[in-house]
């Protein structure tokens, strides 16, 4: 399989490989998981959380300049719905932000999305893109790496802002435990009154997908605004304010249930502090259609 040979031959090989590729695969071995649908471009600009979802889950994150776009005919793509088109795209790598190993200078991948008025792909030569993908085995051209887009929105338009966001996410993910941090529910909680009137603290002990201890705290003091903090380890004393657009914020905002479990909500102080914390965190604002597996959420 080589992107410098007959495009139909290459496309057929990539189609076969893509149909064997799934989100769980993270190594350049032959994938065996269920298929990921060919990518479609996002209707909306991805939110910060969408960028984090893609950057953390995809084994490969790279920036490429589109060198060639080969539209596949209807006979080769009978499953493509009307108004859409599938294409084999070849690109020159500019920057590799994340990869399981060294990549060659080029890449080839399948893209599916809306056609223009002439029935052609809306991706053009010279366009710069951000790719979230996984490597495919095979390929006879050592200068080109065949890849499969990791999700339906695995190809995104490049902008300096998008690159900066993704770089910051991947840098933060190097901190132990943060890349896979996912809150799945609330295990327990308690409220304590302070030494002076108006002083109190609530602690909410959270369950996580990886079993990592995470505690959400709300501290109140007379004459001060309530503080929302989180500890992502065993030491509650190391709790720090939750900053937006961070992986800790993402785990909390996207994973916490809307309300406390019934046995904890019976305590009015806990109920009030949890509502305050939830409002302070806000929504996680996923804009792209669900394309990646999420941890199961529970309230117990």
Q: What is the pLDDT of residues 156-168, one digit of tens each?
A: 999 999 999 999 9
Domains in the chain and their CATH numbers? 7-172 (2.40.50.120), 183-281 (no CATH)
Q: Are 37 and 52 in contact (CB under 8 A)?
A: no
Long-range contacts of 26-34 (CB under 8 A, 24+ apart): 26/59, 26/100, 26/134, 27/59, 27/100, 28/100, 28/101, 28/134, 28/135, 28/136, 28/137, 29/137, 30/137, 31/134, 31/136, 31/148
pTM of the model: 0.81
* % of the chain at pLDDT higher than 90: 69
Q: What is the pLDDT of residues 64-75, one digit of tens each?
A: 999 999 999 988
Residue with tokens 């890349």: 179
Distance CA 83, CA 235 (A): 55
Distance CA 73, CA 93 (A): 27
Q: What is the mean pLDDT of residues 133-140?
A: 85
pLDDT attached to residue 5: 38
Distance CA 253, CA 279 (A): 9
Q: Are 212 and 286 in contact (CB under 8 A)?
A: no
pLDDT attached to residue 292: 52
Q: Are 161 and 181 in contact (CB under 8 A)?
A: no
């Amino acid at each position: 399989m080589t992107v410098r040979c007959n495009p139909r031959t290459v496309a057929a090989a990539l189609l076969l490989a893509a149909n064997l590729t799934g989100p769980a695969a993270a190594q350049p071995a032959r994938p065996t998981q269920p298929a990921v649908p060919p990518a479609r471009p996002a209707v909306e600009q991805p939110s910060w959380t969408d960028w984090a979802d893609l950057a953390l889950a995809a084994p490969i994150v790279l920036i490429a300049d589109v060198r060639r776009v080969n539209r596949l005919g209807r006979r080769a793509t009978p499953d493509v719905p009307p108004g859409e088109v599938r294409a084999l795209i070849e690109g020159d790598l500019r920057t590799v932000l994340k990869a399981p190993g060294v990549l060659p200078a080029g890449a080839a991948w399948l893209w599916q999305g809306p056609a223009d008025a002439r029935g052609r792909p809306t991706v053009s030569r010279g366009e710069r893109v951000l790719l979230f993908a996984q490597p495919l085995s095979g390929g006879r051209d050592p200068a080109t790496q065949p890849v499969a887009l990791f999700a339906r929105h695995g190809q995104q338009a490049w902008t300096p802002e998008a690159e900066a966001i993704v770089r910051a996410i991947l840098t933060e993910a190097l901190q132990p435990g943060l890349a896979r941090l996912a809150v799945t529910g609330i295990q327990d909680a308690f409220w304590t009154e302070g030494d002076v009137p108006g002083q109190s603290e609530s602690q909410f002990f959270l369950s996580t997908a990886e079993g990592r201890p995470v505690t959400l705290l709300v501290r109140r003091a007379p004459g001060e605004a309530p503080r929302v903090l989180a500890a992502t380890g065993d030491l509650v004393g190391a709790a720090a304010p939750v900053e937006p657009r961070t992986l800790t914020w993402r785990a909390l905002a996207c994973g916490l249930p809307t309300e406390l479990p019934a046995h904890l909500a019976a305590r009015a102080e806990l109920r009030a502090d949890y509502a305050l914390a939830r409002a302070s965190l806000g929504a996680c604002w996923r804009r792209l259609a669900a394309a990646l597996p999420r941890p199961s959420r529970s309230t117990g």
